[in-house]
């Protein structure tokens, strides 16, 4: 019995020691948690922002990416000890009114007060140097467009709330944005609460910035030379529908979008969001419809009398003269409105409308850019339709279209009658770094390959024989001018013009479809003198940037039609 006492005491000592150890460990944990707790959560809460995906051109040039060179300055009013002195110091660094800052900190609407959201790194460093408890600086996620206005219309822009607008930013906002995550608990110690953010996908665009820069320089020069209001240049790959370049002036710098807030129309990309009467550039599609229907051939003749009564209106030729008996080939070469009206009359209103609609007029092309509009192409079944629309549309005056619609329609002829859906994103790169190509999509077989080849031959002949301003030495070029009339800005009783040209090269194996448009030129007014030289400048740049080998056009197509 006497030996039991020391044994009990020993057990009690062990128990006491164990309990002490447990209490000590618990105390240590409490201390650790207390230290972690002292690292108060930021004003933004526990959300972990996802990286917005970057935009790249086809050769890997950065078009849009995130930046962290601006800082949020936030004050935790619950832990700020001396609000008045802090207000003076912070206001001095941030260039704010000390009295306003003091008032803000004295009567906050909530615990957290955001004093600045675009402070420079120098300001943030100075504020951190103050060592004020309760004042925090944090880098702010913002969007940067290194090429500025060069690709502004294509990229669009992102506002302060990281919301994409216009262009690719607007169309792919959800895909670029990704999903926010959550930190590991309020005190950063709960791994089960951690949700990793899922970054947005990077997008590789079809744009070639070298071609884009060359097109923009050529367009700016032409606008300056002609005293024009603006203009548009589009370059498409006819085989895939890839948008290789899209420039419209005036444009804007997406880095400074707020500077253009007074001109919201600047944010509309004219290539897809503005409509214009396309004029004579429509005539190839009118004639293609007639040939494809089997009602006409290039040698079909008609008696050209101007004015010509059709559809309740008097159709007159651009040169105001009658040309007698001419072939369809000659009609297109001379760009005769009366002949186009004859073709539309041969087709009939329903079939003519269906043919233009099949080329994509009157409906969006489906390009992956925000803000695309559909243009106007009146159908015989529409309320208010009259035969005048039937007649006028045959030469591009009774309808409206976007520049991209015209380019896509011309690409259809260049691509053996296959209309491809224009697109600007060629691949998505997910957060895992794996690129997923975006395959081209065909919208429809609009006309037969034979009809398309016939039209290519006709259009190449036009450039070779008449539109030498658009010719590129060493290359067969096919195309058609357009000169549409719009009411004058200066005199409502007078007209101004929109000069355009749409063509492609090489004529026998098209690699690039180029559409150019100059709005309201003052020095000259016709497509042949204003738009054709611009086309050539862009085509020469396309030849170099796209590595297009020289090819003669007409001979390879089997001779002149």
Q: Which residues bind another protein (CB under 8 A)?
A: 1, 4, 8, 11, 15, 18-19, 21-22, 25-26, 29, 32-33, 36, 48, 51, 54, 61-63, 65-69, 139, 144-147, 150, 183-185, 188-194, 209-210, 212-214, 473-474, 541, 543-544, 547, 549-550
Give 190 or 350: the residue with its C-beta nearer to another protein.
Answer: 190
Cβ 195 to another protein, closest distance in Å?
11
Cβ 212 to another protein, closest distance in Å?
8
Give 37 or 529: the residue with its C-beta nearer to another protein.
Answer: 37
Give 50 or 404: the residue with its C-beta nearer to another protein.
Answer: 50
Give 210 or 292: the residue with its C-beta nearer to another protein.
Answer: 210
Q: How far is CA 12 from CA 4, 5, 16, 22, 431, in A?
A: 12, 11, 6, 15, 59
Cβ 220 to another protein, closest distance in Å?
11
| Per-position DSSP letters for 98-111, written without gaps between them | HHHHHHHHHS-SSS
Alpha helices in 227-294 (DSSP H): 270-273, 283-292
Give 47 or 106: the residue with its C-beta nearer to another protein.
Answer: 47
Q: 């660094």: which residue's tokens?
A: 93
Cβ 255 to another protein, closest distance in Å?
11
What is the Cα–Cα distance from 489 to 511, expressed in whole angstroms? 38
Give 439 or 473: the residue with its C-beta nearer to another protein.
Answer: 473
Residues 438, 382 contacting (CB under 8 angstroms): no
| Per-position DSSP letters for 139-151, written without gaps between them | EEEEEE-TTGGGG
| Per-position DSSP letters for 112-147, written without gaps between them | EEEEEEEE-HHHHHHHHHHT-TTEEEEEEEEEE-TT
Q: Name the token pair of 230.
A: 């603006």
Give 14 or 78: the residue with its C-beta nearer to another protein.
Answer: 14
Cβ 260 to another protein, closest distance in Å?
20
Give 58 or 466: the residue with its C-beta nearer to another protein.
Answer: 58
Tell me the β-bridge partners of 513: 236, 504
Give 14 or 133: the residue with its C-beta nearer to another protein.
Answer: 14
Q: How far is CA 170 from CA 46, 147, 159, 289, 504, in A?
A: 27, 18, 11, 36, 30
Region for residue 243 given its phi and psi (left: phi exceeds 0; alpha: psi -120 to 50; beta: otherwise): beta
Cβ 230 to another protein, closest distance in Å?
20
Residues 65, 146 contacting (CB under 8 angstroms): yes
Q: Name the token pair of 315.
A: 């159709």
Query: Which residues are CB-neighbours of 243 under 8 A, at least 6 positions away?
Result: 154, 206, 207, 234, 235, 236, 367, 422, 423, 424
Cβ 190 to another protein, closest distance in Å?
5
Cβ 166 to another protein, closest distance in Å?
19
Query: In this structure, what are the phi and psi dihedrals at residue 364, rounded to the nearest 5 degrees?
Result: -60, 150
Q: 């194996």: which residue's tokens?
A: 509
Cβ 158 to another protein, closest distance in Å?
14
């Amino acid at each position: 019995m006497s030996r039991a006492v020391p044994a009990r005491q020993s057990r009690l000592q062990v128990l006491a020691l164990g309990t002490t150890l447990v209490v000590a460990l618990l105390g240590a944990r409490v201390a650790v948690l207390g230290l972690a707790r002292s690292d108060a959560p930021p004003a933004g809460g526990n959300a972990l922002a996802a990286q917005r995906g970057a935009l790249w051109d086809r050769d890997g040039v950065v078009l849009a990416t995130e930046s962290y060179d601006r800082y949020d300055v936030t004050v935790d009013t619950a832990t700020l000890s001396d609000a008045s002195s802090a207000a003076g110091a912070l206001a001095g660094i941030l260039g704010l009114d000390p009295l306003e800052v003091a008032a803000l900190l004295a009567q906050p609407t909530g615990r957290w007060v955001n004093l600045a959201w675009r402070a420079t790194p120098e300001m943030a460093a100075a504020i951190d140097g103050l060592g004020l408890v309760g004042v925090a600086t944090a880098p702010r996620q913002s969007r940067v467009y290194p090429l500025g206005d060069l690709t502004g219309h294509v990229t669009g822009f992102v506002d302060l709330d990281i919301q994409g607008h216009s262009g690719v930013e607007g169309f792919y906002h959800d895909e670029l944005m990704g999903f926010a995550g959550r930190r590991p608990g309020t005190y950063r110690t709960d791994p089960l609460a951690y949700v990793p953010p899922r970054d947005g996908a990077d997008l590789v665009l079809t744009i070639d910035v070298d071609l884009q820069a060359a097109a923009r320089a050529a367009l700016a020069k032409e606008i300056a030379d002609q005293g024009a209001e603006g203009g548009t240049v589009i370059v498409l790959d006819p085989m895939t529908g890839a948008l290789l370049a899209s420039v419209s002036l005036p444009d804007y710098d997406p880095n400074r979008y707020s500077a253009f807030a007074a001109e919201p129309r600047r944010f509309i990309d004219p290539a897809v969001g503005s409509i214009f009467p396309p004029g004579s550039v429509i005539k190839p599609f009118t004639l293609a419809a007639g040939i494809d229907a089997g009602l006409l051939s290039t040698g079909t003749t008609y008696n050209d009398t101007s004015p010509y009564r059709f559809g309740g209106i008097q159709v007159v030729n651009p040169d105001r003269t009658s040309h007698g008996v001419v072939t369809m080939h000659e009609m297109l070469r001379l760009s005769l409105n009366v002949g186009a009206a004859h073709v539309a009359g041969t087709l009939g209103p329903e079939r003519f409308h269906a043919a233009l609609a099949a080329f994509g007029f009157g409906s969006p092309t489906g390009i992956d850019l925000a803000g695309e509009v559909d243009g106007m192409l009146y159908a015989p079944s529409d309320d208010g339709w009259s035969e005048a629309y039937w007649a006028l549309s045959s030469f591009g005056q009774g309808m409206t279209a976007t520049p991209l619609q015209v380019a896509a329609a011309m690409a259809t002829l260049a691509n053996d009658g296959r209309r491809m859906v224009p697109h600007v994103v060629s691949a998505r790169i997910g957060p895992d770094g794996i690129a997923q190509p975006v395959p081209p999509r065909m919208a429809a077989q609009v006309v037969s390959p034979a009809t398309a080849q016939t039209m290519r031959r006709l259009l190449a002949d036009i450039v070779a024989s008449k539109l030498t301003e658009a010719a590129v030495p060493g290359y067969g070029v096919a195309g058609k001018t357009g000169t549409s009339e719009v009411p004058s800005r200066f005199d409502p009783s007078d007209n101004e013009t929109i000069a355009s040209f749409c063509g492609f090269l090489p004529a026998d194996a098209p690699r690039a479809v180029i559409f150019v448009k100059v709005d309201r030129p003052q020095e000259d007014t016709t497509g042949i003198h204003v738009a054709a030289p611009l086309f050539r400048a862009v085509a020469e740049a396309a030849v170099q940037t796209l590595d297009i080998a020289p090819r003669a056009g007409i001979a390879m197509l089997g001779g002149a039609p």
